[in-house]
Structure 1
Amino acid sequence: MTTLTHLSPAPVIDETVRLLTEHYVFPEVAAELASLLRRRFAEGSYDVDSAEELGRLVTVDLRSVNGDRHLSLKYHAASVPEERGAAALAAMRRDFDNSLGGAPRVELLDEGVAVVELAPALFPLEWAAEPLTAALSLAASARALVLDLRANLGGDPDTVAFVCSHLLDERTHLNTMFWRDGGRLEQSWSLAHVPGRRFGGTGPVYVLTSDRTFSAAEELAYDLQQLGRAVIVGERTHGGAHPREGWTVHPHLEATIPVGRSVNPVSGTNWEGTGVVPDVACPAADALDRAHALASARFSG
């Protein structure tokens, strides 16, 4: 790993190519991307003075083959730690502390419809279990539940399972993850027991989405949709289904590389590239009003 304090594109590209080759979940695509980055470097395409500009150029190239939106050479204005994944974890902790643990809003609307906003991320479960339990327990007695994921950019699959567990009555297979490392398979299931109160598997659930909803937040919407447990209201989501890890390749640049892929047990596929398609399509700004109207109509019908 390079420890340069100035920008020298060559070691950054070399390390990014090595990480792609060793870790990207699709080895054939990794080989194609490695050749592309080497060719672009040889052509002088990365001869820039700014780490931010280098990150932008390389990210465009990384996504040019298969459109994987988790692939990036991410620029950080502040110097990032060298430990694997440390840059993303430090930023995530700041967001957690500034968002009431990822549940910044719980509100009761007319007709007994509760809104729980989960944003800006589904934080690691060891952090988020307590605030999420508080928020979901508070909403458990509502007649209908609206989960607002419009500003949620992703997070921890274990936290996805934790939230789903509050909305189901029985232990349920949610997702299977295929990891490149060792060809491992890992199934995700809802929990048989949750702390606090459970909304359960019968009351109406609506999930609000936007074109910014991404990654683990998309999994939450997709899992509930495929199980027939929730109505998705809003916009088609951003379309990133591959869990990623991050490596520091320069004091201000982090290579983020998907190391696994999701397969839903109902659909046999995932939302990569396509996003989660809403059941009720509308502008994200109108999604809460639309979901509230749907719930109200259900109760008055």
Structure 2
Amino acid sequence: MTTHTTFVPASVIKETAGLLTDHYAFPDTAVQLADLLHRRLAEGAYDTDDAAEFARRVTDDLQSANGDQHLSLKYHAEPVPPKQGEAALESIRRDFETSLGGAPRVELLGGGVAVLELAPMLFPLDWTADALSAALGLVSRAQALIIDLRANRGGDPDTVAFVCSHLLDERTHLNTMYWRDGERSEQSWSQPHVPGARFGGSKPLYLLTSGQTFSAAEELAYDLQQLGRADIVGESTRGGAHPRQGWTVHPHLEASIPTGRAINPVSGTNWEGVGVQPDVPCTAADALDRAHVLALARLEA
């Protein structure tokens, strides 16, 4: 369906280019992309009255330099607030309310193996802490655990640390964010204590991934994989490691711009552009059955 809303491409491009040069984690690339946007505008590449199509064209150009999938111009069918970041929050609040707080499935399979699905996002911790505490506390009694991230498209790094805290025995350095200004870094650590019971750091743990697993969900898989805590079963993930912020540049358009980069303390790098590589490659559709078989074999051994 064609979507029409009044907007001025030149105005949106000017504002988006300015945000790029002011905030993008890679300043040199930001200048190149800002020049590209202005050049493409002058060429008529953005001549359309369809805001969704306009957003697709701009996003294609934004991602042309380095394939950064967090860098985009997002179209929202419903008008979004002008305040920075509120566009994304309005969108994900609806998903939160319809997914039991981001833990839509808890199930006990045969042999004492539990499955916990975290989807469609790892929501902000002040929203989801109660739901995740309940779900993680419930599966803490299982003999082995499978966490399903196949439909998870990202979320909050603080929530990643919260989940990891239930799956490790002691406070552990998980990740470090390096910000655009080059003077600030922010370490992420698991918590030494959690509300209620924890699954802990010794029982078998498997994480399921797909080609759609993205962003913070990738961090959860990557952090635990690099620590040797979990086996990843499924497909390579999408490959987005740069934390983003959002700016509303039009009532229906949000500029999503990464403002930093993640560096893992074990690997010294991240999953940007390459994705998290599974320890046990298989199709996403087969991943749950495959992980269950692996868990049963390990428990039997």
* SS across alignment from 1:100: coil
5+ residue gaps in structure 1? none
Residue 182 (structure 1) shift: 6.0
- 1:128, 1:55 → 2: CA distance? 31
Q: What amino acid is the match of 1:113?
A: V
2:144 corresponds in structure 1 to 144
Within-5 A mapping of 1:46-195: 46-181=46-181, 183-195=183-195
Instruction: Work out whether residues 172 and 189 of structure 1, in 8 Å CA contact, stay in contact via their aligned partners in 2.
Output: yes
Match of 2:202 in 1: 202
2:259 is matched with 259
Q: TM-score, structure 1 length as denominator?
A: 0.98
Cα distance in 2 for partners of 1:212, 1:181 equals: 31
Q: Report which stretch shifted further, 218-227 or 72-81.
A: 72-81
Contact 1:70 1:242 in 2 (8 A): yes
Query: What is residue 25 of structure 1 aligned with on the other side?
Result: 25
- Tell me, in whole angstroms, the C-alpha distance in 1 between the residues paired with 2:218 and 2:182: 26
2:38: which partner in 1? Answer: 38
Whole-angstrom distance in 2 between the partners of 1:205 and 1:224: 9
Shift in Å, 1:179: 1.1
How far, CA to CA, are the matches of 1:17 and 1:210 in structure 2? 33
Look up the equivalent residue of 2:252 and give its one-letter code. Answer: H
1:241 match: secondary structure: coil
Q: CA deviation at 1:49?
A: 1.0
Counterpart residue number, 1:15: 15
Partners of 1:44 and 1:139 in 2: how far apart? 56
Whether the aligned pair in 2 keeps the contact of 1:7 and 1:50 (CA below 8 Å) is no
Report % sequence identity: 72
Amino acid at match of 2:75: Y
Q: Which runs of 4+ in 1 moved over 4 A?
A: none
How far did 1:181 drift? Answer: 4.2
Q: Deviations over 1:58-96 (max 9, x none)?
A: 000000000000010100111111000101001111111
Give the Cα–Cα distance (whole angstroms) in 2 for the partners of residues 32 and 280 of structure 1: 39
| Residue aligning to 2:248 | 248
Which secondary structure does the structure 2 equivalent of 1:254 belong to? strand
In the alignment, the residues of structure 2 paired with residue 32 and residue 123 of structure 1 have an alpha-carbon distance, to the nearest angstrom, of: 33
For 2:108 and 2:213, the matched residues in 1 are separated by 23
Instruction: Quote the offset at 1:183 in angstroms.
Output: 2.6
Q: CA RMSD in A?
A: 0.8
- Contact kept in structure 2, 1:207 and 1:233, CA below 8 Å: yes
Q: Report the Cα offset of residue 300 of structure 1.
A: 2.2
Ranges in structure 2 where 5+ consecutive residues have no aligned partner: none
Contact 1:120 1:152 in 2 (8 A): yes
Q: What TM-score, normalized by structure 2, do the two folds share?
A: 0.98
Counting matched residue pairs gives 297
| In the alignment, structure 1 residue 286 sits paired with structure 2 residue 286 | yes
